[in-house]
Chains A and B, each alone.
Chain A
Amino acid sequence: MQKYSVFSLVKNAFKGHKDWEVAWKDPTPKAEYDVIIIGGGGHGLATAYYLAKEHNITKVAIIEKGWIGGGNVGRNTTIIRSNYMHDENGLFSEFGMDLWRNMSLDLNFNVMFSPRGIINLAHSDAQMNAYSRRGNSMRLNGIDAVLLDREEVKKIIPMADFSENVRFPIFGGLMQPSAGTARHDAVAWGYARQADSMGVDIIQNCEVTGFNITNGKILGIRTSKGEIKAKKIGLCVAGSTNILAEKLNMTLPIETHLLQACVSEPIKPILDNVVTFGAGHFYCSQSDKGEMVMGGDLDGYNSYAQRGNLPTLQHVLTEGIAMFPFLSKLKMLRTWGGIMDMSMDGSPIIDKTHIEGLYLNCGWCYGGFKATPASGWTFAHTIAQDKPHTLNEGYSLKRFNTGHLIDEKGLGTKTWIS
C-alpha cells in the first residue's frame, strides 16, 4: 500500500496526481470467508480492520448494500467524548479515546482529531450536584473531568446567554477537556483503506437478502450477488438492524428512529469547544470550515425515512437560541436526518446471539460515531474469540431480560420519559 505523507503528496503533484493507487479495490465476492461483516459503515469497517490487525483474520468480507461510509458515519455531528458515569460506558469510551488519539498515525490517514473539550452546561443547583457526581465517577475511571462554576464557563464561552432574567440561567458546567471532534468521513476511508490493504474484501452495492442457518448454526448469507458461505457473521447495520433481525426471526430491544442535525452558514471562529445545553437536548460546535454544527432530539416516532420534519428542528434550535442567542442571526446551510438504532436503555449491544456464529453490534442511539474505534475493536475481539471482551461484557443482549440495564441517562427510545 502506498503510504500517505507530505513526500508522496509532493511526488504525485509533480506527476499531475495521475499515479495515486486506488484506496480500496472493488472485488467480486469469493465463495467463502472466515468472517463476513454486514454493514460498511464506520463500525463495520473498523471491525474488519481490527479483525485483521489484532487477530490476524484476513479472510474477511464487508458486505454493504449501498456504498461504504454512506450512512451515519458520512453525516453526523462528529463529537467524541467519554464523559459517562457508569463504569461500562466510561471504561469502554475511554478505551476508545486512546484509539482516537492514535488513529491518524495508526491508519496513515488524517482524521483531524481535535480534542477541543466538551462542556455540559448546568442550569440549577441540583444539576451541578449531579454533574459533580458524574465528574467524580469519571475521574475514578481515569477520565478527565473539571467542574466549572458560572464565572469559569463565562470565560470560555462569553457569547452564551449569561443574563440574569433567562428561564434557564447558567450555573456552571462539567467539562471533559480531552473530548473533541474528528473528520467523520476520513474515519471510514482510513479504516477501509487499511482493511483492504490487509486482504479484507469490501463488497459494495450488495444487499443481504437472507441467511442460511442449519441446526442453530450460521452457514452463510444470501445476497443480491449470490450466496456466500461464512463461519462467522457480524451485524453492524445500525438503523437497519431490525430489517435483518426480521430475516433472522429475531425480535430485539431496538427501535429505529429519526435523528436530525444541521449546519449553519460558515462564520468567523467563535466557538472552540463542544457545548451542550443542560435544560433540553441541544449541542453545538464549530467546524473547521466555520459552520455551526448543531443537533438535538429525535423526531420521536419510529421511522426509516432518513429525512426529518420541521417541528423537531424548530424545537431543537429554540433551545440553541436560548443558549447562544447569536445563532438566531444565522442562515441554515443544510439539515439532514439519519436513522438510529435506539436501544431500550440508551446503551449499545455488542454480543453473541442464540445462533452459533452470528454476532450482533447495534443500539448506538445518538452516540455511534464516537464509539467507532472501540466498537470495532471489541466486536472484532468478540467475533475472533467467540466471547465478549471485558470492555463490552456489560453490553450484552441478555441484560434486558435479567434487569442489568445500563441506564446512563434513562434515555432509550422513549425520550419523553426524560
Chain B
Amino acid sequence: MLHIKCPHCGLRSQNEFSYGGDASVKRPELNKEISDQDWDNYVYLRKSPRGKHLELWQHISGCRQWIKVERDTLTHEIFKTLKANEEV
C-alpha cells in the first residue's frame, strides 16, 4: 500500500488517489504550429525511468486536486509531494 501525502489534506492511502502519469511531459503551446514528431513526443513517448519519477496523481476520493509526486519506481519510496503548480 502506498501512502501519499496530499499537500492539501495530509497523509492518505493509495485507495483515495488515481494515477495521471509522467508529470514532466509538457503540452505543446496552444495554437502554435508544431510538427507531428512534437505531437508524438507529447502524446506517446515516455522515458519511464527505473528510479526517481515525477508523476501526477489526483486525490480523486478526497479534495479532487491534481498533485505532483516524486516517487521511486523501483522501491515505491515517495520522496516529495507538491501542489500541481509547484516545481521541484
A interface residues (Cβ-Cβ under 8 A, vs B)? 242-243, 246, 251-256, 300-305, 309-311, 344, 400-402, 413-414, 416
Q: Residue of B at shortest CB range from A252?
A: B45
Given A256-B73, A300-B19, A304-B74, the answer on whether A400 and B44 have CB atoms closer than 8 Å is yes
Q: Report if B63 contacts A (CB, 8 A).
A: no
Given B19, B45, B47, which contacts A246 in the complex, CB threshold below 8 Å? Answer: B47
Complexed CA–CA distance, A310 and B47 (Å): 27
Instruction: Name the residue in A256, A304, A414 with the highest tally of chain B Cβ atoms < 10 Å from its Cβ.
Output: A304
Complexed CA–CA distance, A266 and B74 (Å): 32
B19 touching A253, Cβ below 8 Å: no
Q: Report if B53 contacts A (CB, 8 A).
A: yes
Q: Report if B1 contacts A (CB, 8 A).
A: yes
Q: Residue of B at shortest CB range from A257?
A: B48
Given A251-B46, A253-B45, the answer on whether A309 and B14 have CB atoms closer than 8 Å is yes
- Nearest-CB distance from B47 to chain A (Å)? 6
Which residues from chain B contact A253 at a C-beta distance below 8 Å?
44-46
Given B1, B40, B53, which contacts A302 in the complex, CB threshold below 8 Å? Answer: B53
A302 touching B15, Cβ below 8 Å: no
A303 touching B73, Cβ below 8 Å: yes
Chain A contact residues: helix, strand, loop or mixed: mixed
- Nearest-CB distance from A379 to chain B (Å)? 22
Given B15, B37, B40, B47, which contacts A242 in the complex, CB threshold below 8 Å? Answer: B47
Which residues from chain B contact A252 at a C-beta distance below 8 Å?
45-46
- Nearest-CB distance from A362 to chain B (Å)? 11
Complexed CA–CA distance, A305 and B50 (Å): 9
Mark each residue of chain B from 1 to 36: 1 if its CB lies under 8 Å from any CB of chain A, else 0. 110000000000111001101100000000000001
Chain B contact residues: helix, strand, loop or mixed: mixed
Q: Report if B85 contacts A (CB, 8 A).
A: no
Interface size on B, residues (CB 8 A): 28
Complexed CA–CA distance, A303 and B53 (Å): 10
Q: Which residues of B (37-59) have their CB < 8 Å from a CB of A?
A: 37, 40-41, 43-50, 53, 55
Q: Residue of A at shortest CB range from B45?
A: A251
Which residues from chain A contact B40 at a C-beta distance below 8 Å?
400-401
Which residues from chain A contact B13 at a C-beta distance below 8 Å?
311
Q: Report if B80 contacts A (CB, 8 A).
A: no
Across chains A and B, which 3 residue pairs bring their CB atoms closest together, nearest first? A253-B44, A242-B48, A400-B44
Which residues from chain B contact A251 at a C-beta distance below 8 Å?
41, 45-47
A416 touching B49, Cβ below 8 Å: no
Which residues from chain A contact B71 at a C-beta distance below 8 Å?
301
B50 touching A243, Cβ below 8 Å: yes
Complexed CA–CA distance, A29 and B21 (Å): 40
- Nearest-CB distance from A249 to chain B (Å)? 11
Instruction: Name the residue in B2, B13, B50, B53 with the highest tally of chain A Cβ atoms < 10 Å from its Cβ.
Output: B50
Which residues from chain B contact A311 at a C-beta distance below 8 Å?
1, 13-15
Q: Report if B76 contacts A (CB, 8 A).
A: yes
Which residues from chain A contact B76 at a C-beta distance below 8 Å?
303, 305
A304 touching B50, Cβ below 8 Å: yes
Given A301, A344, A402, A416, which contacts B55 in the complex, CB threshold below 8 Å? Answer: A301
- Using A256-B50, A303-B74, A304-B73 as known contacts, list a sample of 11 further A-B pairs with CB atoms less than 8 Å apart, ordered by residue number in A: A243-B50, A251-B41, A255-B21, A256-B73, A300-B18, A300-B19, A301-B71, A302-B55, A311-B13, A344-B43, A416-B18
A305 touching B74, Cβ below 8 Å: yes
Which residues from chain B contact A254 at a C-beta distance below 8 Å?
46, 48
Given A305, A344, A401, A402, which contacts B73 in the complex, CB threshold below 8 Å? Answer: A305
Which residues from chain B contact A246 at a C-beta distance below 8 Å?
47, 49
Complexed CA–CA distance, A303 and B13 (Å): 18
Complexed CA–CA distance, A413 and B55 (Å): 14
Q: Residue of A at shortest CB range from B46?
A: A255
- Nearest-CB distance from A321 to chain B (Å)? 18
